[in-house]
Amino acid sequence: MAFTLEERLQLGIHGLLPPCILSQDVQVLRVLRNYEMRKDDLDRYIFLMALQDRNEKLFYKVLTSDIERFMPIVYTPTVGLACQQYGLAFRRPRGLFIAIHDRGHIATLLKSWPETDIRAIVVTDGERILGLGDLGSYGMGIPVGKLALYTACVGVNPQQCLPVMLDVGTNNEELLKDPLYIGLKHKRIRGQAYDDLVEEFMEAVTERYGQSCLIQFEDFGNTNAFRLLNKYRNKYCTFNDDIQGTAAVAVAGLLAALRITKNKLSDHKFLFQGAGEAALGIAELIVLAMEKEGIKRQQALSRIWMVDSKGLIVQGRANLTEQKLQFAHPHSEVRNLADVVQDVKPTAIIGASAIGGAFTEQIIKDMASFNKHPIIFALSNPTSKAECTAEQCYRLTEGQAIFASGSPFNPVTMPCGKVLHPGQGNNAYIFPGVGLGVIACGMRHIHDEIFLIAAEVLAEQVLEEHLAEGRLYPPLNTIQTVSRILAVKIAEYAFKNGMASVYPEPEDKQALINSFIYNTNYDDFVIDSYTWPEEASKIQTVKI
């Protein structure tokens, strides 16, 4: 409907459309009107995904028109519900599905994808989708949603993005019995066959798209996530968002919180509820940040305590993984989180366990009794898995707590009339900007220092007025600006430290980043040779 009369004549579609001509802005208005008529968030998700399928430019025009409004629909928390209902919501395949039985043929499968210039891939095996567990092929909603944010938040060209599902089966009995399930209906295959599939995938991607193709691992189970990250981080251009992206956004929140507590990171004592990918990733980056402050690694490790499903992680406890063992300290075994809080008296508690309500009223009150400004991060997704709500945290600490969450919470009005805006520690503040910075300068490997830089840059974007409102992150409506600043800083660091492969080094890194930004407006093109109808003889350009 945006084609002009002259364009319709040139394309031979005059009469096939209603005579009215609607600009893209009016089309956005029509989408918004339809969106408002949807009955619930899942219906809104399905509506937006259908728009993405039929008109990608308009889809991103809508998303970027009010990203704060639409991000909770295309990403957390609604994407979690969409994954659970993926068989019901499935309309049209999006992305590449690679099954365990495709071993030996992955290179051929990649050739089935119509685009040859792929710069960013998000891949999952669906074993640990958010805090929802094993969703198998239903987890494809996560790579699709993540890559939508690559474009909406920072402007990576969607044609250069590829979502991938590695389907090795599922251990979810409900899905195995679900007639609508779209994946392999057998138990998860592990061991050498699994490793061979991932190895072949990594090699095939690099062979087809180049060493600088970014491969982002997403929502793998704990054991595979750490193992695959350690195996491939120095061999391919890859990172794990659940481990490293979550770490960066959490540390950014902590760095911003230091402007309220008026001290250093190494002055704090951290207690984690959970010791999985997210918690261990955050802890490792906190240690790196403390070392940057000037303290030794062992001293930094002593400031971090962890509670997993078996209680406090202490020295002498059996069957601790290598990642957990470094955070094991001399202490008697304690099972209950509330008792651990009483014993350790942390200045900050960080929830990454997907146990809804784990931060009880007593725990929150105890935190307030130990600290003038207790740091309380309830980072688990989706909202139902949050360790506490923003309102619980603020009211039980009389507004003194420094709060952040993984899912969005509404502003809280305190009895005194002050309105507090809880900060959402959303990975979308990190991975799109890191991704574009990596892509733009052609990085071959991504070190942890990149994520510490990302955390520092994000924290710098938090203004004093934001802190006064209770925010530890910039407002979501500024995420495009924040992400592009982050991308520029990543590019500058890469070139300065010999990590970039683009040659010659561009003098203006901002211009380099801008050259990759996707334009959501309808494109123009010029036809060099065409027999023009008389009515369109003076036309030079056509919108598509």
- Average pLDDT in the 269-292 region? 96
Other beta carbons less than 10 A from residue 311's beta carbon? 15
DSSP secondary structure letter of residue 4: -
- Tell me, what amino acid is at 468? A
Catalytic residue among 45, 75, 394, 518: 75
* 223 band by pLDDT with thresholds 50, 70 and 90: confident
**Percentage of the chain lying above the pLDDT 90 cut:** 87
The predicted-structure confidence for 242-260, as pLDDT tens digits, reads as follows: 999 999 999 999 999 999 9
Catalytic residue among 45, 57, 86, 146: 146
Structure token digits, residue 416: 């005194």
User: Strand pairing of 161-167 and 120-124?
Assistant: parallel
- Average pLDDT in the 531-539 region? 49
SS3 state of residue 273:
strand
pLDDT of residue 409 exceeding 60: yes
* 523 band by pLDDT with thresholds 50, 70 and 90: confident
- Tell me, what amino acid is at 159? Q
The helix (run of H) or strand (run of E) holding residue 416 is none
- Average pLDDT in the 387-406 region? 96
Structure token digits, residue 189: 């295959």
Owner of token pair 């190895």: 199
Beta-bridge partner residues of 405: 378, 424
The predicted-structure confidence for 505-521, as pLDDT tens digits, reads as follows: 999 999 999 999 999 99
| Mean per-residue pLDDT of the chain | 93
Residue 45 annotated to the active site? no
pLDDT of residue 526 exceeding 50: no
Structure token digits, residue 534: 């008389």
Residue 232 annotated to the active site? no
CA atoms of 328 and 314, how far apart (whole Å): 4
Peptide linkage before 77 cis (omega within 30 of 0): yes
Angle between helices 277-293 and 246-261 (to 10 degrees): 50
Residue (of 208, 276, 200, 209) closest to 232 by Cα position: 200
pTM of the model as a whole: 0.92
Structure token digits, residue 505: 């080094």
Instruction: State how far the alpha carbon of 438 is from the alpha carbons of 154, 443, 447, 448, 450, in Å.
Output: 13, 5, 11, 13, 10
Question: What's residue 382's pLDDT?
Answer: 83
DSSP secondary structure letter of residue 138: G
Question: What's residue 529's pLDDT?
Answer: 45
pLDDT of residue 30 exceeding 90: yes
**Geometric angle at alpha carbon 60, from 421 and 542, rounded to 5°:** 150
Would you list the DSSP string of 16-80? TS-S----HHHHHHHHHHHHHT-SSHHHHHHHHHHHHHH-HHHHHHHHHHSHHHHHHHHSTTHHH
pLDDT of residue 7 exceeding 50: yes
The helix (run of H) or strand (run of E) holding residue 543 is strand 541-543
- Average pLDDT in the 349-364 region? 95
- Average pLDDT in the 70-79 region? 92
